[in-house]
Structure 1
């Protein structure tokens, strides 16, 4: 007589056979009770780029950083006697608008940064026609083989073709000691990501099972491995049937009881551990936690400081890495005064009132012309708007002496009666 016979539950041979095979570890030789319930010596889930992106914190970090960097305005400039001037033409269109016939600049750069923050390397191929640059195309970094010859020159083998380093835009997350291979954030942050994956899997299994934790049956148990398998299958089917019929309880045979095995999520500090996993992943990407939607310790003031930290110590550094790679590969080591530059003002626009006050102050202090300020707001230029202006009360230090009243002593002497010495009066 089995467990279900003892409590009067009808048997279902087909379901019983199915449940025996569904219990993890039952069919494996040597499996013990702890392994059956996932409490034994089991391996953590493997970490790949695809599995890492199922962790919300990793997905948020990669998507936020890649979109933020791709959204920065990117222009081509030339140094002149009057300073840097933005150039127009095909190269500006290629960098700022459409790097090729299929990709927009935003789409290409977003994909590029996604590779940097997952696989650890972003690659672009520069298409040339003679001395002209005609396109930029993304390269799958997992399919590229990078090598270096005895002269120190690097080569990229892609799709059976070999390209010199001058034709490949290459930004690694972190280079290894040989200067060729690289470290990736997903690989280096694998332990933290593994922990997050394990907690996600445990939480999914726990709540998918109706919140029923692993249980141990106490009382007189059947003897023999086959009888134990049948008893365990009976217990499992009894729990499943109770959940399916929305019954809060199910009968137990006399002298038996079910005892919880392991810790429940609350006692195991699962909530705190998952929050700490977000902080660990934020450290991997060096991103303030507030941008991973973790406002646990966020206040109005420190959230603003984290915004400044993001631009100064993260976005600006990655933007400079791409700028210098563009400048070297597009214009050569001696670039002739041409360069590519991001406009970080795109991340620091602020609210409308603050932005208007900042532009007004820049115009009034002769930093921007009115038309330059209007261009930042995508407004057309106006007549007489290309002159620098300054507040009338602001003058050069020391220039106030130029406007002081002149000394009129000499004029008074020349226009009035002459003053003669006393001895001259006497002689007259």
Structure 2
């Protein structure tokens, strides 16, 4: 572990408390956009869940480089921390899922690194981004200021923090899709609020009651209250309205069909999927899904969505957690997500064995089957000649 001497610190104006402490008071499309309110949109919640759950559930192993390749370093102290138990309160899946959600919703994720006296990592303790501020020292090093629920503040050196960033604009602080595209998320929230209010007010029964000349304010108020009490709300939808003598009801607001509200809601799902780079089918939009493209959509998700986040974890571990990155490194095992169906796996394994770059024992290991002694000594079958397609 590197030694670091504390220096006189200065706060960087661009790295103040988390952005939504200020942005929460600013309206976008008439609603407040924060990570909490954005999660209330089912598409946002589904996109964040799809990415964070997938990243957290993939095995994250520590490997040792060898002369003939590599091997799992199960005896490395970091292996247990990343693969099994990062701290006494969380499993590895719970910890990594929480950190990944912080990255997606807030742009940054922090974990305190607990080092032993011998320079070994003992635990990783997650820190909520809302309670972390980043400071710059005179020599441009980073210091993390952490506050607890009681208001106590302590400072951690860069060597004591695992910092994950998403789409950083300055190399120090990350930015979430919600932060960058607040207008898009705000529009989705406004559409949801519009639907809630329309249904709460009786859906289509919204307009003006025109009364006869000479109606007093008191009489008009009584008519309005009587109308609201008798016909307002979803439970009153479909009732036959009775108006006072001479009164006439005129609709002045757009109906749900006129505003194409349902189509707008569908467009919001596509917008959210675009922000998080998630195939719409994974967040419940099944219009473009079918049995023929299900496997390819899964591959697309791994290649174009998960890959960036997986590499972020691997490189952050190499930078902050591994003392000897020339010998050890972290890597996810994504084979389970890319294997496809049984027939395609069988064809892939068959050609791999026939071409001689894969052993039968390796195939059984990938399929989690028990070892069979001497299976690699059995003669290979001659590959059938392949015809040009």
With structure 1 as the length reference, what TM-score do the two structures score?
0.75
Does residue 1:265 correspond to 2:251, yes or no? no
Which residue, 87, 90, 97 being the options, matches 1:103?
A: 90
> 1:337 aligns to what?
327
* Structure 1 residue 43 displacement after superposition: 6.0
Which residue, 254, 268, 281 being the options, matches 2:272?
A: 281
**Aligned in 2, Cα 1:92/1:389: closer, same or farther, shift over 3 Å?**
farther
> 1:311 aligns to what?
302
Q: The residue matched to 2:268 in structure 1 has which SS?
A: helix
Task: Work out the CA distance in 2 between the residues paired with 1:152 and 1:203.
Answer: 50
Which residue, 149, 172, 175 being the options, matches 1:183?
A: 175
> 1:74 aligns to what?
60
Which residue, 172, 188, 205 being the options, matches 1:213?
A: 205
CA contact (8 A) 1:74 1:341 kept: yes
Does residue 1:174 correspond to 2:160, yes or no? no
Task: Work out the CA distance in 2 between the residues paired with 1:298 and 1:391.
Answer: 39
CA contact (8 A) 1:79 1:337 kept: yes
Q: The residue matched to 1:326 in structure 2 has which SS?
A: helix
Task: Work out the CA distance in 1 between the residues paired with 2:67 and 2:127.
Answer: 38
Which residue, 174, 191, 196 being the options, matches 1:199?
A: 191
Say which one has the larger Rg. Answer: 1
Which residue, 347, 351, 363 being the options, matches 2:337?
A: 347
> 1:63 aligns to what?
49
* Structure 1 residue 77 displacement after superposition: 0.5
Task: Work out the CA distance in 1 between the residues paired with 2:238 and 2:183.
Answer: 41
CA deviations over 1:30-50 (Å, ceiling 9, x no partner): xxxxxxxxxxx9961211222
* Structure 1 residue 319 displacement after superposition: 0.4
Does residue 1:327 correspond to 2:318, yes or no? yes
CA deviations over 1:345-397 (Å, ceiling 9, x no partner): 12113223333333343333333333322222222222235679865569xxx
Which residue, 128, 142, 152 being the options, matches 2:140?
A: 152
Task: Work out the CA distance in 2 between the residues paired with 1:79 and 1:230.
Answer: 82
CA contact (8 A) 1:46 1:194 kept: yes
Which residue, 123, 137, 142 being the options, matches 1:135?
A: 123
* Structure 1 residue 78 displacement after superposition: 0.8
Superposed CA RMSD in Å reads 2.8
Q: How many residues are aligned here?
A: 351
Provide structure 2 residue ranges, at least 5 long, that are not aligned to the other structure.
1-26, 148-152, 385-389
Provide structure 1 residue ranges, at least 5 long, that are not aligned to the other structure.
1-40, 395-428
Deviates most, 115-124 or 219-228:
219-228
